[in-house]
Amino acid sequence: MFTIVGWAWVSKAFIDWQCRNIAGPVRFEFRGTAVEILWRGFAAFVGCMFVLPIPWLVAWIYRWGVSQVYINQA
């Protein structure tokens, strides 16, 4: 059960790490939560059972992910 659900928290930690380790004068911050990643992942999994909406699901998840990254000018 933990491995089925735990991947969302690992993904959140990895995205946070990526944002913190981008070199340069601009700092990035990921504000999404693991629960949001989890339910979007499950919704996409169910949606992928119907082959036709796969491109829209990928675009939906990608747009959400990009909208959760904020730029902090330091």
User: The pTM is what?
Assistant: 0.85
Using only C-alpha atoms, the chain has a radius of gyration, in whole angstroms, of: 14
What's the number of domains the chain is made of? 1
Contact 38, 10 (CB under 8 A): no
Give 11-40 pLDDT, tens digit per residue. Answer: 999 999 999 999 988 999 999 999 999 999
| Assigned token pair, 7 | 């991947």
Helix 2-20 to helix 34-48 angle (10° resolution) is: 120
Please tell me the predicted confidence (pLDDT) of residue 74.
63
User: How does DSSP classify residue 50?
Assistant: S
Rounded to 5 degrees, what are φ and ψ at 7? -60, -30
**Domain range for residue 62?**
2-73
